[in-house]
Structure 1
Amino acid sequence: MQYDINLKIMSQRIKESRLKLGLTQEQLAEIVNLSVPHLSKVENGHKGLSLDTAAKLANALDFSIDYLVQESAGNSRRVFHSEMNYIVADCTEEELSKLLKLIRTCKEIIRE
């Protein structure tokens, strides 16, 4: 199986996740033991990551490495599930119930 790393998508996911958690670049860089300029280059898509750094970022930002690096069409379901898990991770049971109802309704509308 071949994986093509899309730095633009990877960098967007890192930045969005950092902001969602309310972390500054300085705070995240300290957590994962990177320099702020290095993290900035990663978030801007100008620099890739080692596997070790990707794992540290995934742990710090509470997502899987799959979510960070997979983008090929053959893995779209896995990426979808990973992204959905990330999106609903902080939801209450009531919110999850409402989201499920919305998804079912949207699916019906799409299939009409």
Structure 2
Amino acid sequence: MNDAKQNLASAVREARTELGLSQEKLAEILNIDSRTILNIEAGRGNPKFEKLYPLLTYLKIPAGKIFDPTYKDESPNLQKLLSMQKDCTEQEAADLIPMVRYLLELLRK
């Protein structure tokens, strides 16, 4: 269980700083106490699901990164691309598919 706490601490700190957010600002966005963020990043405490779920969702941290000991991070660029894809509407995704296919064909030549 200690590994999961450390994985959570590292993942939250990394994702938060990547977004340029302070602990206080992240807590404000998620409407939780800033001490909760502080304790999570310090590997202390045992956050309840009601706090953990919005935190992981907002920071786009895959649960496997925290709980699966065999989890392997994808390359940073692939992660960014997948994250952008997840933010698309169904129509945007449908419009992008032919463009992405075309660009991949160009890149692979």
Please state which band the TM-score falls in when normalised by the shorter chain.
Answer: 0.5 to 0.7
Aligned partners of 1:11 and 1:43 also within 8 Å = yes
Aligned partners of 1:55 and 1:65 also within 8 Å = no
The structure 1 residue matched to 2:74, chosen from 75, 80, 84, is 84
Alignment partner, residue 104 of structure 1: none
**So what's the TM-score if we normalise by structure 1?**
0.61
Residue 6 of structure 1: how far off its partner (Å): 2.1
Consecutive unaligned residues of structure 1, counting only runs of 5 or more, are: 98-112
Alignment partner, residue 24 of structure 1: 22
Alignment partner, residue 9 of structure 1: 7
Count of aligned pairs between the two proteins: 82
Q: Does 1:44 align with 2:42?
A: yes
Q: Cα–Cα, structure 1 residues 31 and 70, in superposed 2: closer, same or farther, change >3 Å?
A: farther
Consecutive unaligned residues of structure 2, counting only runs of 5 or more, are: 82-99, 105-109
**Percent pairwise identity:** 20
For the aligned residue pairs, the C-alpha RMSD in angstroms reads 2.4
Computing the radius of gyration from Cα coordinates, the structure with the larger value is: 2
Equivalent AA in structure 1 for residue 5 of structure 2: L
Aligned partners of 2:5 and 2:43 also within 8 Å = yes
The structure 2 residue matched to 1:69, chosen from 67, 73, 95, is 67
